[in-house]
Amino acid sequence: MSPKSEKKVPPGQEPIRAILRWGIDHHGISNEIPRISPEKWALTVEGQVENPFKLNWKEFLELPHVESSNDFHCVEGWSVLDCHWKGVLFKTIAERAEPKKGSDYVNFECSDEYTTSLEMADLMGEETMLAYQLNGKPLAPELGGPVRLIVPSKYAYKSPMWVTKIVIASWKLLGFWELRGYNDRAEAWKNMRFDRRLRQ
C-alpha cells in the first residue's frame, strides 16, 4: 500500500479520488450552478466592524495570498484527499475589517442564497482561506469559483461556494444545513454530524 492510501481520514469517511459531485445535488437551494465571471464578482465585508469594504476581483487578487494542501470532508461520508488550494487567508480579510469588540461571529452569503456561519476563532487558522485556485487552476464554477471559503477541519457545509458577502457581528444566523439538523460545530475529526435537538 502506498503511504497515500494509508492516510487517515476522519471517522465514517471514505476517500474518493476527486471532488466528484460537480454541482449535482449538493446544492441546498437549487441545482443551478452560479456562473459568475470574475470581472462581475465582488466581495462585500460588513457588519459590526470599523472598516467595512468591498473588493472587486482585481483588488481581491492584490491581497497577500497563501497556498496549502489539505483534505476535504463532506458530511455524507466522502473525503477528497490532498487538495492544493491557493487563496487569501480569512485572517487577512478579518484584520482589514477591524471587528468591533464582541464581533465574534461570521456569516457568509453566497450567489445561490446558501448561507453558513462560523465563530471568528474557528476562522483564524493558517489553512482557512478564501480560495480562488485548486491544484494550480482557477476554481471552476462547479467547485465554487471564482471564490469559496475552505475550512479543512470542518465538514464541507462550512465551506461555502460562490461567496459574495461576509457579515462580521456579535450574532450568528444558523446556516442552510445547520437549520436542517446538521451540527453547527461540524468538526470532522470529532464526528459532529447531526444536532439531536433539531433531528427527532
Ligand X SMILES: Nc1nc2c(c(=O)[nH]1)N[C@H]1C(S)=C(S)[C@@H](COP(=O)(O)O)O[C@H]1N2
- Cβ proximity of 169 and 105 under 8 Å: yes
Other Cβ atoms within 10 Å of 163 Cβ, number:
23
Interaction partner, residue 122 (ligand X, Mo ion, none; CB < 5-8 Å by kind): none
Largest CA distance in the chain: 53
The full length of the chain comes to 200
All three cell numbers of 186? 461540524
Q: Which does 108 bind (CB under 5 to 8 A by kind): ligand X, Mo ion, none?
A: none
Q: What are phi and psi of 198, to 5 degrees?
A: -95, -15
Residues numbered 122 to 161 that lie near ligand X (CB under 6 A) are 143-144, 156-157, 159-161
Give the DSSP letter of residue 100. P
Stretch that binds ligand X, among 54-62, 97-105, 107-115, 185-193 (CB under 6 A): 107-115
Number of chain residues interacting with ligand X (CB under 6 A): 17
CB closer to Mo ion, 156 vs 167? 156
Distance CA 77, CA 191 (A): 10
Does residue 110 belong to the site contacting ligand X (CB under 6 A)? yes
Interface map 68-87 toward ligand X (x if CB under 6 A)? ------x-------------
Q: Which region, judged by CB under 6 A, interacts with ligand X, from 1-9, 44-52, 86-94, 110-118?
A: 110-118
196 membership: H or E segment, kind and range: none
Q: Which residues here bind ligand X, judged by CB under 6 A?
A: 19, 21, 26-28, 74, 110, 112, 114, 143-144, 156-157, 159-162
